[in-house]
Structure 1
Amino acid sequence: MIFSRGRKQDPVVEFWAWWPTIRPAVTDAISTGGFEPLTPQISKRVAAIHKDLTWEFSKGTDSRHALVVSPGGNPALRAVVARWGALAPAADPDWEFHTARQPDHDTLSATIEIAGAKLDLALLRFAFSRDEDSAAIDVVGHHPLFRKLPEPVRGQITFLALDWLLGEEGVELWIGSVDFSADEPAGARDPLDLAAAVDALREEHREPQWVVFSAEVRGRPVTGIAQRPLRSARWPRFDTHVAVVLPFAGAVAGLPSDEVAEALVAFEDGTLEAALHGNGELLAHETGGGRRTLHFYVDGTSSAGDDLTAAAAGWPGGKATVKRAHDPGLEAVAHLA
């Protein structure tokens, strides 16, 4: 008799197969408050996907209720959560599903208890300024009771308030430095003014924007372009860095002639782009020393990395090289952000 081991079940697929069996009880519990027996079951199913994921129920945006499973700011978990969200059922009048905490402006008018103090969040103010270089907004939070609270609590309140105001993804994408002050900072304004500024910045970047840069490295010119803002939350599924290096001849001070530059662009936009099949994106490239390095990020569970490697071999200007590494936090291009 031949015995075979069954395939290990995909915990994301299992979660969505299980959800309809517990959904009625969860919906009832939201009305009755009887969550206690359900919480361990949900936690177990989420932890099976990854032990460090967080989850919560909240008020929905378009539906009555929302289930949120979040990476909790950990870029290494974004691809996992993105897949969970991609397999979620379509929203309906009762339930919607999110991979990050959504804005909750109602909470900003509530009073919360923290560190033995009662804070009226309606008194919270933000001073903010735009950082043009990084397409982000730098923030300083203030509340009159910050004078009586230790610094870690001030920071906790500031970050919680930003999540409630902008949603987890909004903070990750559009907020730069975050500080907090016991004294009201110059230009402090209502939180909704900050939300409006973030909305305006998001609208400006609705279409992809590229920044051109040039530098000198060891006495040689280097040029390039990079998408902005260069933040991993924009591409949660693309967790693998694929660096494609294309050498070229006839360089002048290490840079390509017009003819070679046209050939590079044609190869990037044609052959390499076609190899992605929607499973990756070019985030930046650098040119200098007789070669162009293209920084692609791809879905590590797809064939995009292999397909890019095969496509790069067709570069007529010399022998292309390809290096691949798991890099959910975009560390390989952090110097270009």
Structure 2
Amino acid sequence: MIFSRGRKQDPVVEFWAWWPTIRPAVTEAIATGAFEPLTPQISKRVAAIHKDLTWEFSKGAGARHALVVSPGGNPALRATVARWGALAPAADPEWEFHTARQPDHETLSATIEIAGAKLDLALLRFAFSRDEDSAAIDVIGHHPLFRKLPEPVRGQITFLALDWLLGEEGVELWVGAVDFSAEEPDGARDPLDLAAAVDALREEHREPQWVVFSAELRGRPVTGIAQRPLRSARWPRFDTHVAVVLPYRDGAEGLPSDEVADALSAFEDGPLETALHGNGELVAHETTGGQRTLHYYVDGASSAGDELTAAAAGWAGGGAAGQGAGPAAAGKAKVKRAYDPGLEAVAHLS
């Protein structure tokens, strides 16, 4: 007799197959407040996807209710949550689904109890300033009761308030340094003023923006470009760094001549871009000492990494149209690949 082991079921697919069976009971529980029997069931299904995911129900933006499954600020879980969201059913008047906590301005007018104190959240204030270099807004939170609360609780309240004000994704994308103060900082303003500043920054970056930079490394000039903001929350599926290093014939001080620069750009815009098939993004490149390093981030579950590697082999491929750089190349391309959901490999460019 031949025994075969069944294939392990995909917990994301299982979750969405199960959701319609529990949805009526969840809708009713929201109306009655009788959540106790349902909470363990939902927690078990979410934990089956990953034990560190968080979940909650909230008021929807377009629907009456929303189910949120979030990575909780852990970049390693963003690709998992993105896949959960991609397989979610279409929103309807009753339910919508999100992969990050959504803004909830109503909570900022409530009174909460924390660490034995009652805080009127309407008294929260934020001082903030724009960090032009990183396309982010630095924030200092303040509440009159902070002077009576220990530092960890002040921080907890500040970060919770930012999530309610901007949504989890808004904080990850547009907020830089976060601090909190027992004394009211100079320039402290209403939270909605901070929300308006973030909205303006988001609108400014609605289209992808690139920053040109130059520096010196060990006596050699370095030039390059990088996307702004350079934050992993922009590309939740793209968890794998692929560095494509293209050696070229040196021009002045190790930088490419105009002719070689054109060949590099054509190779980037042609074979390498085609290899992505929507499963990756070029986020930056650096040029120095006779080589250009292109920093791609790809969906590690896709074939994009393999296809980039195959396409890069055409760099010294003889110069046929769309195949390689011909005389611009000074050797074969090198490709390095590593799991990097937090964009650590390009942190020096952010």
Please, what TM-score do these two structures have when normalized by structure 1?
Answer: 0.99
CA–CA distance in structure 2, aligned partners of residues 157 and 129 of structure 1: 20
RMSD: 0.6
Moved over 4 A (4+): none
Within a 5 Å distance, the mapping from 1:284-303 to structure 2 comes to 284-303=284-303
> Which residue in the other structure is 2:251 paired with?
251
What's the secondary structure of 1:89's corresponding residue? coil
What's the secondary structure of 1:227's corresponding residue? strand
How many residues end up aligned between the 2 structures? Answer: 337
What's the secondary structure of 1:66's corresponding residue? strand
String of CA shifts for 1:34-73, please: whole Å, max 9, x gaps.
Answer: 1111111111110010000000001111000000000000
Q: Is the 8 A contact 2:250 2:289 kept in 1?
A: no
Within a 5 Å distance, the mapping from 1:205-244 to structure 2 comes to 205-244=205-244
CA–CA distance in structure 2, aligned partners of residues 300 and 274 of structure 1: 17
Task: Kindly indicate whether residue 135 of structure 2 is the aligned counterpart of residue 135 of structure 1.
Answer: yes
Task: Kindly indicate whether residue 33 of structure 2 is the aligned counterpart of residue 33 of structure 1.
Answer: yes
Task: Kindly indicate whether residue 335 of structure 2 is the aligned counterpart of residue 322 of structure 1.
Answer: yes
CA–CA distance in structure 2, aligned partners of residues 124 and 39 of structure 1: 32
CA–CA distance in structure 2, aligned partners of residues 145 and 52 of structure 1: 32
What's the secondary structure of 2:315's corresponding residue? coil
Within a 5 Å distance, the mapping from 1:1-337 to structure 2 comes to 1-316=1-316, 317=329, 318-337=331-350
Q: Percent of aligned positions with the same letter in both sequences?
A: 89
C-alpha deviation, 1:146, in angstroms: 0.9
C-alpha deviation, 1:251, in angstroms: 2.9
Please, what TM-score do these two structures have when normalized by structure 2?
Answer: 0.95
CA–CA distance in structure 1, aligned partners of residues 269 and 282 of structure 2: 10
CA–CA distance in structure 2, aligned partners of residues 138 and 225 of structure 1: 23
One-letter code aligned to 1:74: N
What's the secondary structure of 1:68's corresponding residue? strand
One-letter code aligned to 2:346: V
CA–CA distance in structure 2, aligned partners of residues 146 and 313 of structure 1: 59
Gaps of 5+ in 2: 317-328
Gaps of 5+ in 1: none
One-letter code aligned to 1:237: R
